[in-house]
Structure 1
Amino acid sequence: MTRRRLLLGLLALVLAVAASTTLLARAGAGSESCAVKGEQAEERGVLVSGSGARVLVIGDSYAVGGGVLPDQSWPLRLPGRVRVDGFSGSGFTVGASPCGDVSYATRAARARLAGVDLVVVEGGLNDADQPLADLEAGYERLVRALGDRPVLVVGPPPAPLLPYDDVAAVDATLARLAAARGTPYLSMLDVELSYLPDLLHPDAAGHRVFGDRVAERVRELLR
């Protein structure tokens, strides 16, 4: 009986460690509570940078600028009058976040889309451990929410913390879904970013590289 209890205890410990590792391996799933993430999202959402064509960025903690100063996040490098709808730990799928349904489609449905010239949808890292069927369903929901507005989909980079094959599967799925609808897609699988110690979020230099890569494509689409 003692040995059986010991084995059960070890199994529970392994499962707990696995669960916590999965939670931490998300773009924005640090120690912050869902309420704090919501506050961070609201604070970032009221900041508008630049001038010209109106650009809306929908994304995860990369869009919010998790781990860097507010003026170092990649959306600030985009041309146009840029507004960000970001929520740390979120993704295309509902299951990407432990904070309820903060998926891109649900947020897009309530976003201020009137007058937006281009929607940049960035993400996918938090969907890497979700079923690809859920990723497809979330993408289709997002398409319906955005309607006929011009969209650029930006895929996930190869963050060192996550299995490359899982990230590549998300990239391939998003590329296929975007191509099926004629939506521009920007793969980031080959981008070389520098990361914070968590090996998941870019540092300030990484944000510059990421932002400049996206900005080049945005300029093309706004011409």
Structure 2
Amino acid sequence: MTRRIRLVLAASVASVLATLGVVVVLLHDGASAAESSCARTQAASVARASIVTGHGPRTLVIGDSWAAGFGLWNIGRSFPSYLPGRVHVAAFSGSGFSEGATHCRHESYADRAPEALRGGASLVVVEGGLNDTDQPPADVVSGFHRLMSVLHGHRVVVIGPTAAPKRGDSVYPVDALLARLCAAARVPYMSTLGIELPYQGDRLHPTADGAGIFGEAVAHWIQTQA
């Protein structure tokens, strides 16, 4: 083998190794970024859980960023604060009924419900669906059944996704699916597609006024289910 060929081969090998190194670094950086994102979301979840509003029997809200108060100056005024009872919130932004709604592990509604129920609840309000719009329907069904199994024996109501502009028409199949699942499980279901709300700049989350409108609408509907 000539010296020139050896140099070319060495350069090629070095190039391949360098490329692999870049890929490994990118994968590591991506994983680190995802972990950091999940840690921040978890911290926000804990912060919202520490805020208890209202008086009376314990109401537990299991939900997503709408319950967590994402983007609101005062997260304690997210929509659950308008609900009846002494309201506790178990919310994780990006989560949903399906396991894959969020890239953060073990944060689906069914995953979080056992811990959230430790304090008991006279009413469990499950809110969501906006993060399930890109998930396989079978995963939503599976997640719903898992959740209902955990909540068995409790009074449960389900609040469906709004027609958030960013989600477009993708919310309608999820709303219809949740309505069918709740009917089969004999769980009251509130479709919120007809509620007009002001949204933040991301066209996905309600403004403070929107959270109030949504919360009051849900509270009124819950009272009709008593």
TM over 0.5: yes
Give the C-alpha shift of residue 189 in structure 1: 0.8
2:222 corresponds to which of 207, 218, 222: 218
Give per-residue Cα distances to partners, 1:156-176, cap 9 Å, x unaligned. 000101121x20000000000
Q: What is the CA–CA distance in structure 2 between the aligned matches of 1:38 and 1:176, rounded to whole Å?
A: 31
Partner residue, 2:57 = 53
RMSD over equivalenced CA pairs, Å: 1.2
Partner residue, 2:101 = 96
Partner residue, 2:184 = 180
Q: What is the CA–CA distance in structure 1 between the aligned matches of 2:200 and 2:129, rounded to whole Å?
A: 19
SS of the aligned residue for 1:48 comes to coil
Give the letter for the 2:93 counterpart: S
The answer to whether the Cα contact below 8 Å between 2:77 and 2:208 also exists between their aligned partners in 1 is yes
Partner residue, 1:126 = 131
Unmatched tracts of structure 2, length 5 or more: 1-35
TM-score by length of 2: 0.81
* Correspondence 1:116 to 2:121: yes
Give per-residue Cα distances to partners, 1:1-34, cap 9 Å, x unaligned. xxxxxxxxxxxxxxxxxxxxxxxxxxxxxxx711
Give the letter for the 1:66 counterpart: F
Give the letter for the 2:152 counterpart: G
Larger Rg over CA atoms: 2
Q: 1:153 to 1:113 in 2, by over 3 A?
A: farther
TM-score by length of 1: 0.82
Partner residue, 2:148 = 143
Q: What is the CA–CA distance in structure 2 between the aligned matches of 1:106 and 1:70, rounded to whole Å?
A: 23
Give the C-alpha shift of residue 110 in structure 1: 2.2
Q: What is the CA–CA distance in structure 2 between the aligned matches of 1:73 and 1:105, rounded to whole Å?
A: 22
Partner residue, 2:196 = 192
* Correspondence 1:43 to 2:55: no
Give per-residue Cα distances to partners, 1:18-74, cap 9 Å, x unaligned. xxxxxxxxxxxxxx7110100110111121111112100000000000011224311
Higher share in helix: 2
Q: What is the CA–CA distance in structure 2 between the aligned matches of 1:160 and 1:71, rounded to whole Å?
A: 24
SS of the aligned residue for 1:49 comes to coil
- Within-5 A mapping of 1:22-37: 33-37=37-41
Give the C-alpha shift of residue 113 in structure 1: 4.2
The answer to whether the Cα contact below 8 Å between 1:76 and 1:82 also exists between their aligned partners in 2 is yes
The answer to whether the Cα contact below 8 Å between 1:95 and 1:101 also exists between their aligned partners in 2 is no
The answer to whether the Cα contact below 8 Å between 1:194 and 1:206 also exists between their aligned partners in 2 is yes
Q: What is the CA–CA distance in structure 1 between the aligned matches of 2:160 and 2:94, rounded to whole Å?
A: 15
* Correspondence 1:84 to 2:104: no
Query: What percentage of aligned pairs have identical amino acids?
Result: 49
Partner residue, 1:160 = 165
Unmatched tracts of structure 1, length 5 or more: 1-31
Number of residue pairs the alignment of both structures matches:
190
Q: What is the CA–CA distance in structure 1 between the aligned matches of 2:118 and 2:198, rounded to whole Å?
A: 33
Q: What is the CA–CA distance in structure 2 between the aligned matches of 1:112 and 1:39, rounded to whole Å?
A: 19
SS of the aligned residue for 1:109 comes to helix
Partner residue, 1:8 = none
The answer to whether the Cα contact below 8 Å between 2:99 and 2:107 also exists between their aligned partners in 1 is yes
Q: What is the CA–CA distance in structure 2 between the aligned matches of 1:200 and 1:181, rounded to whole Å?
A: 29
